[in-house]
Amino acid sequence: MTRPNATINPTKIGDKNDMIKDRDGRYVFPLLRDPADYEPCTFPLRKNADDPKHFPTLREWLQVFKKSIPSFRNTASGDSSVRDAKGKAAEFEAEYLKILIAIEKKPNGGPGLEGPGPVDVIKLCGMRDDLLRRLGFMDCFKTIKTQENARSLALLNRTLRQLDEMEESRRLFALLQGIFAGNIFDLGAAASADLYDNSGTDFEGTKDRLQPRPWLIDDATAFAYKWNNHTYKKAIMFVDNAGADVVLGMLPFAREMVRRGTQVVMAANEVPSINDITAQELEQVLELCTDQVLRTAYQEGSLVVVSSGNSLPIIDLRRVSRELADEALDADLVVMEGMGRAIETNLYAQFKCDSLKVGMVKHHEVARCLNGKLYDVVCKFEEIPQDKGEEESFCSMKEPVCAIQ
């Protein structure tokens, strides 16, 4: 919700005419360049891949979801809010496995696939989450999220101090590293869920082990140039996981943008899904922050939290909340963060304004599609050309002082 004191930029990139509403009361994100051509899912799930070396078959994609079932079952078994949680978790395991097997046999007509179009990751995630909720598991990762938020908040001030003490030329790279390191906390991916089960979260250790540049997709130098020669008026940030991801990764990045004069709107899930943070939980985190910059920004409206309207760990930008659509109308930067929102969906989404897509690859199959490897990182920046006057002014600016190593 926008705070009363928020300063709203009158320059509109979107327009009220771009507010397209569907029958369920969701809106098309008004900064999509061409909603008619928008395809949220990055990778098609084909029964027979054209290039099996680089593009997994439908069977392999279904195996990704099968491999994640034990983690969901184990977490759901410990949900004290559900009567007979162990029995219900076992029922989830059996039912979801049955659904996946049926889809493998009949890809275009299996259970839950009555809608238009072939099976995709949005449908597979939706069927999984719908089944969990139907069995009473409304937020079975809640305890883990609460614990990880508390742990990360305890480290936040130290992390911010380290960033503030850095030379400006190093700070943006450190902020990007923090986003990547935090994004490994993803309990929907089997590899990172196993990592969490074995060793918990280790933010500093993960930063030290990040892949060196050049990254899998690496537009960091171009982003650094824009960062140093331009102040965005308003940024919409789609955030991902609770814990280190949002607290130690995205909040420091949002804080730095606020300090540079940008109003930041953080869009989080409306409904719980895996360990993704909800808008309500993010507001609670901000209320617990003791950093004065974050507290002031949140109280005065230069840092705002809204519900994205989403209920999944990925996002279809044709179905967002009214409040997010309203906030987006005068934004000039879109930030998509996390594997689900920035890589598995929306990697190739085109916007009317500049966009930054950042995240870590946590599925072998996704890595194959991008010709990379597990735990590679993506930093994809797309700049919308300026008009002639602005472009001449921008091109005459000095070289960036921010070094991306």
CA dist 242 and 147 (Å) reads 10
pLDDT higher at 112 or 380: 380
Single pTM value for the model: 0.90
The pLDDT, as a whole number, for residue 231 is: 98
Half-sphere exposure of 373 (CA within 13 A, CB side): 4
Task: Please write down the HEC assignment for all residues of 5-45.
Answer: CCCCCCCCCCCHHHCCECCCCCECCCCECCCCCCCCECCCC
The pLDDT, as a whole number, for residue 73 is: 98
pLDDT digits (tens, 9 = 90+) for 136-185: 999 999 999 999 999 999 999 999 999 999 999 999 999 999 999 999 87
Structural domains of the chain, with CATH? 155-395 (3.40.50.10880)
Name the average pLDDT for the chain: 89
pLDDT band (50, 70, 90) for residue 25: confident
The pLDDT, as a whole number, for residue 217 is: 99
CA dist 304 and 360 (Å) reads 25
The pLDDT, as a whole number, for residue 220 is: 98
pLDDT band (50, 70, 90) for residue 311: very high
Mean pLDDT along residues 222-234: 98
pLDDT digits (tens, 9 = 90+) for 46-104: 877 667 677 899 999 999 999 999 999 999 999 999 999 999 999 999 999 999 999 99
Render 296-321 in DSSP notation, one character per residue: HHHHHTSEEEEE----SSS--TTSB-
| Residue 272 near residue 139, CB atoms below 8 Å | yes
Mean pLDDT along residues 243-270: 98
pLDDT band (50, 70, 90) for residue 401: very low
CA dist 254 and 266 (Å) reads 8
Q: Can you list the alpha helix ranges (DSSP code H) found in 200-291?
A: 203-208, 220-229, 244, 251-259, 279-288
180: tokens are: 């990547």
